[in-house]
Amino acid sequence: MNALAALRTLVAATGLSLGAMLLPARCPAAETPTIEQWDVFEIELKGPSEGNPFVDVRFTAAFTNGTKTIEVPGFYDGDGVYRLRFMPEQTGSWRYETRSNRWPLTGKMGSFTVVPATGRNHGPVRVHNTYHFAYADGTPFKPLGTTSYSWAHRTDALEEQTLKTLAGAPFNKLRMAVFPQAHGIKTMPPPRWPFAGTPPHDWDFTRFNPDFFRHLEKRIAQLRELGIECDLILFHPYDDDQDWGFETMDPATDDRYLRYIVARLSAYRNIWWSMGNEYDFLRTKTEADWDRYFQVVQQSDPYGHLRSIHNGRLIYNNTHPWVTHASIQNGMATEDPGRAELYRDVYRKPVVYDELKYEGNHNLRWAQLSGQELVHRFWCCTVAGTYGGHSEYFENPEDLVWLGQGGVLHGESPARLAFLKKILDEAPAGGIDPIDKWQDPRIGGKAGEYYLVYFGRETPKSWPFKLYRDGLVDGMQFRIEVIDAWNMTTSPLEGVFVTKRKDRYFFADKDGRAVALPDKPYQALRIRYVGGAVAGDAQKAPVEP
Amino acid sequence: MNALAALRTLVAATGLSLGAMLLPARCPAAETPTIEQWDVFEIELKGPSEGNPFVDVRFTAAFTNGTKTIEVPGFYDGDGVYRLRFMPEQTGSWRYETRSNRWPLTGKMGSFTVVPATGRNHGPVRVHNTYHFAYADGTPFKPLGTTSYSWAHRTDALEEQTLKTLAGAPFNKLRMAVFPQAHGIKTMPPPRWPFAGTPPHDWDFTRFNPDFFRHLEKRIAQLRELGIECDLILFHPYDDDQDWGFETMDPATDDRYLRYIVARLSAYRNIWWSMGNEYDFLRTKTEADWDRYFQVVQQSDPYGHLRSIHNGRLIYNNTHPWVTHASIQNGMATEDPGRAELYRDVYRKPVVYDELKYEGNHNLRWAQLSGQELVHRFWCCTVAGTYGGHSEYFENPEDLVWLGQGGVLHGESPARLAFLKKILDEAPAGGIDPIDKWQDPRIGGKAGEYYLVYFGRETPKSWPFKLYRDGLVDGMQFRIEVIDAWNMTTSPLEGVFVTKRKDRYFFADKDGRAVALPDKPYQALRIRYVGGAVAGDAQKAPVEP
């Protein structure tokens, strides 16, 4: 039983507010409950069930640690039960007081203690170093995402299989949708629906279906336990001919839905908000609608989880301050690092190519990539200082496709992406950036310390050791490994390469050594500083384009 | 004598306000002066010269044609002379009345008649069709620009030579700076300075030097007569070690300078405003300063001339509403149409690569392009639906370099750019756009009507006739020419190619014909619809990425 479940059980058993209770498993001697930083502290209260509590009842709480006060929204969970979830971002003592327009829900007070996080708990992911990400505790987060839109709208057996697949896969971020999609609907109808009513479209949009959201939360919590960030898609255009009506709700319904899901889920540290998938294909909405959705979510979420929006053919204005990072669909842009890096400069934010096309054998060209091509694109993204996104679509008589339904993976890419992930994990904590921006986009890294050179479809027989001047002085020693991105081999070269200034722009090896390369595509070099002269001696390069 | 000069002469001779006068050369029988639409109507008045008229005197006029009223700023031109220039955008009768905080300048009224433009006068250039430009009268404007920062700060002989060079060159836009630059300063000191005072830095920043601006205007008017748009750079970081102080003026001085130059020049229809060149290298200013400059110019300019800003390494947020088009420096982005097109989607505005690096033999790598490489980049820009910008830097003992000083051109590219310009002039009026965006960036044009395929550094031996489905049905006939972009040849192929649907995405030739190509780089195809089935029959393609 996890901490959240334990708290819930105690509250249910006693009918008391949490503030008066202990959490024995974690804090046997304390007088207040104890919770880990960035875990979920939940308040459960009984309240009115008459009328329509989803729209009639306001329920919030103010949490304070004495220096900071945070207003947190609660929500109605059906059957007269109200919940409120809080994700403490600071350790120490916290107290709270509820506020509601209903007497049973207002003025409830309590306190609890927040202790440091342990194990896999590093807090929520934030933007770090402009183009990259890190967990709240400073641990680097290097996204290696996949997509399975409807995996959490399937049978328990299939969902458990998906979780098992994820546990053995390299992915640390999963894009998934709140609303089901039409694909696969005939063989796999969704067992639950987000609103009260009867499918396909007899909904009471003023009443949510708590069972639907409890199930969604359970799956998101399981992703959290696997160390996987949930990039949750709030709207999408995939009703197709089902006419469920989730694409055409009125603005008040859209906003109530957003506030409800944010109230339920923002205390889950692994949540990212994706406003829409292929947002521009949802032609029932205007760009002003999307601006508003961002703002509603930003205002409702006390923790500022990451916010993005994913394009079809029309890229949203990701320079808006409410967008934390660019979530791009443009496969062509990831065929070449020189393309992939361009969005960095215009957004000055992390760029995640969540859809660089998918591995598969679909008849539509967005899902026809070979494993080699998908892996190639990930490498292009990597040396360009951006991040790729995986999924796959292998035709299946029952529409059992990873992109839509989860299940198992069939492609050749995941093993190679696991290999890439290991390289990313060993790369500088601050992330990989282009070394010689707008000049040689094949080289990313951290000047003077770490270089990743990716030759892509080129098949050079050798590479003259030559590095751009930033961070370099004469006499620095580097070790080089030749990497085969597809065959997953890493071959260290003998000896060290030693820098010597070659011309205004570059340093070469002092003995003019070059690196021999096999006559094959998808080769890379990892070049790491191992000693000799110190980079700090490097002159500041003059500013020039 | 041009219209402006004639008006000035009459005003000077009679001492009357213009409203009471005729312009006999243009309108012998009328009772009011006559001017062409988008020409300069100038009011000249005598007023106070005591104190500091540049800061003490407000002087404006309201112009109306009965339905539209436009407030126009005037300016002090020294020696007690005040001028106010108006560019009428509608034909018909106009009248005006001046307003000032000085009696001799206020309440002056007049009227005049605006007749349709003639000859080369098509009005100012505007954004057209999202990614392109057109003159106010609807005539397409396809930028083919060059840069000569300081050409108007040189000797009369050199400036006349530059104008002669431009008259024989293909360029229809010239980037030039208001402030001189340090380059070439030793052999060619600027003959005039923008402020009263003594060089190098004993300036009275509250007093402009009218002679400096009159000279600048003369040169800009000469560009106008040549059909060349003046992309005027308002700030730049090229003082170098001269310490003139134009890079470090205080905000009030910056703003007064901007208002003064806009008042003097906004009636010139060929003016574009470039806020800064390599703006981010001007590290005495903040991004908020640049935002403000844009806004000052936008508010002061009654005609909304085009506004842009040119980057060094940090790209300005060109999504701001006050930016009309992106003026980009990024040579790497223009090596490949797949790179070049990416900025279009993020800005949804015209993209002009004003600096794609320069042809030359400089020791710095921003001016080392071969003519072939520069021309190649222009072609990449073209098929990507964007525009390139030329300049050259050939080392010269007297620093006589086109980029800085003008003079004559030495490079191999201008002749090839003239060839490209002819192709652009014959292309669809609405501009060239990517045909199969994010899929095959080598092909630009207008679906169903016109295709330009550019193979760049590739040397294919043949190209199977294959066009993306948009705008196509079976039975459409196309003629094809093979173009050698470097050798400037156009070779029409025999017969016509006839479309037949090949698969979900493409049409091929009905007999499976391919186009034979020479085994050389820099080849292109021009494919034009010549008859057969009608494009309007084409089915609307489903929306998909």
Contact A438 B333 (CB under 8 A): yes
pLDDT at A539: 54
Residues B253 and B385 grouped into a single domain: yes
Contact A333 B504 (CB under 8 A): no
Q: Per-residue pLDDT for A271 more than 50?
A: yes
A411, part of any domain: yes
Which CATH number goes with the domain that contains A295? 3.20.20.80
Residues of A with CB under 8 A from a CB of B: 278, 281, 312-315, 317-319, 329-333, 335-336, 338-339, 342-343, 345-347, 355, 363-366, 437-439, 441, 504-505, 543-545
Which CATH number goes with the domain that contains A524? 2.60.40.3950
Asked if residue B222 lies in contact with residue B163, where contact means CB atoms within 8 angstroms, the answer is: yes
Q: Per-residue pLDDT for B10 more than 70?
A: no
Mean pLDDT for the stretch of residues A193-219? 97
pLDDT at B363: 93
Q: Which chain B residue lies closest to A331 (C-alpha atoms)?
A: B438
Contact A319 B319 (CB under 8 A): yes
Number of Cβ pairs < 8 A linking chain A and chain B: 93
B454, part of any domain: yes
| pLDDT tens per residue, range B463-478 | 999 999 999 999 999 9
Distance, CA of A36 to CA of B4 (rounded, Å): 78
Distance, CA of A522 to CA of B420 (rounded, Å): 37
Q: How close does chain B come to A285, measured CA to CA in Å?
A: 16
**H helix or E strand, kind and range, residue A234:** strand A229-235
Q: Which residue has the tokens 């007899």?
A: A202
Alpha-helical runs (H) found in B361-407: 371-383, 402-405
Residues A194 and A339 grouped into a single domain: yes
The domain boundary residue, chosen from B58, B80, B115: B115
Q: Find the CB nearest B365 among A330, A332, A505.
A: A505
Name the token pair of A545. Answer: 């384009």
- pLDDT band with cut points at 50, 70 and 90 for residue A240: confident
Number of helices and strands in chain B (H, E) = 11, 33
A105, part of any domain: yes
Contact A346 B318 (CB under 8 A): yes
| Mean pLDDT for all residues in chain B | 93
- List chain B residues with CB under 8 Å of A438: 313, 330-333
Which CATH number goes with the domain that contains B48? 2.60.40.10
Asked if residue A144 lies in contact with residue A390, where contact means CB atoms within 8 angstroms, the answer is: yes
B545, part of any domain: no
Q: Which chain B residue lies closest to A317 (C-alpha atoms)?
A: B346
Distance, CA of A501 to CA of A469 (rounded, Å): 8
The domain boundary residue, chosen from A96, A115, A134: A115
pLDDT at A102: 97
Residues A413 and A495 grouped into a single domain: no
Q: Closest by alpha carbon to B455, among B531, B404, B379?
A: B379
Q: How close does chain B come to A514, measured CA to CA in Å?
A: 23
Residues B17 and B160 grouped into a single domain: no
Distance, CA of A233 to CA of A283 (rounded, Å): 17
Can you point out the beta strands (E) in B239-344? 271-276, 307-308, 326-329
Residues B160 and B286 grouped into a single domain: yes
Residues B161 and B59 grouped into a single domain: no
Strands A59-64 and A92-100: antiparallel
B310, part of any domain: no
The domain boundary residue, chosen from B426, B451, B477: B426
Residues B261 and B376 grouped into a single domain: yes
A122, part of any domain: no
| pLDDT tens per residue, range B70-122 | 999 999 999 999 999 999 999 999 999 999 999 999 999 999 999 999 999 99
A323, part of any domain: yes
Contact B315 A278 (CB under 8 A): no
- The helix/strand/coil state of A4 is helix
Q: Per-residue pLDDT for A311 more than 90?
A: yes
A120, part of any domain: no
Mean pLDDT for the stretch of residues A395-411? 95
Provide the residue type at A344 as one letter: R
Residues A85 and A223 grouped into a single domain: no
pLDDT at B542: 53
- pLDDT band with cut points at 50, 70 and 90 for residue A27: very low
- pLDDT band with cut points at 50, 70 and 90 for residue B25: very low
- List chain B residues with CB under 8 Å of A291: none
Q: CB neighbours (10 Å) of residue A500?
A: 17
Asked if residue A293 lies in contact with residue A277, where contact means CB atoms within 8 angstroms, the answer is: no
The alpha carbon of residue B536 and the mean position of all alpha carbons in its chain are separated, in whole angstroms, by 35
Domain ranges, residue B169: 142-228+237-272+280-304+319-426
Residues B87 and B64 grouped into a single domain: yes
Residues A97 and A24 grouped into a single domain: yes
Mean pLDDT for the stretch of residues B495-507? 97
pLDDT at B459: 96
| pLDDT tens per residue, range B322-350 | 999 999 999 999 999 999 999 999 999 99
Provide the residue type at B221 as one letter: A
Name the token pair of B107. Answer: 């309440």
Asked if residue B404 lies in contact with residue B184, where contact means CB atoms within 8 angstroms, the answer is: yes
Strands B307-308 and B271-276: parallel
Mean pLDDT for the stretch of residues B269-295? 97
Mean pLDDT for the stretch of residues A189-213? 96
Q: Which chain A residue lies closest to B310 (C-alpha atoms)?
A: A545
Name the token pair of A8. Answer: 């819930």
Mean pLDDT for the stretch of residues B403-426? 98
Q: Per-residue pLDDT for A255 more than 90?
A: yes
Residues A498 and A365 grouped into a single domain: no
Mean pLDDT for the stretch of residues B183-209? 93
DSSP calls for A181-233: -STTTTTS--S--SEEEETTTEEEEEEE-HHHHHHHHHHHHHHHHTT-EEEEE
Asked if residue A528 lies in contact with residue A487, where contact means CB atoms within 8 angstroms, the answer is: no
pLDDT at A241: 85
Contact A438 B278 (CB under 8 A): no
**H helix or E strand, kind and range, residue B14:** helix B3-14
Contact B545 A366 (CB under 8 A): yes
Asked if residue B99 lies in contact with residue B108, where contact means CB atoms within 8 angstroms, the answer is: no
Contact A543 B312 (CB under 8 A): yes
The alpha carbon of residue B362 and the mean position of all alpha carbons in its chain are separated, in whole angstroms, by 26
- pLDDT band with cut points at 50, 70 and 90 for residue A543: low
Contact B545 A355 (CB under 8 A): yes
Q: Which residues contact A209 (CB under 8 A, 6 or more apart)?
A: A192, A193, A194, A195, A196
DSSP A422: H
pLDDT at B395: 95
The alpha carbon of residue A472 and the mean position of all alpha carbons in its chain are separated, in whole angstroms, by 34
pLDDT at A81: 98
Number of domains in chain A: 3
Residues of B with CB under 8 A from a CB of A: 278, 281, 312-315, 317-319, 329-333, 335-336, 338-339, 342-343, 345-347, 355, 363-366, 437-439, 441, 504-505, 543-545
Residues B397 and B460 grouped into a single domain: no
| Mean pLDDT for all residues in chain A | 93
Q: How close does chain A come to B55, measured CA to CA in Å?
A: 37
Distance, CA of B229 to CA of B223 (rounded, Å): 7
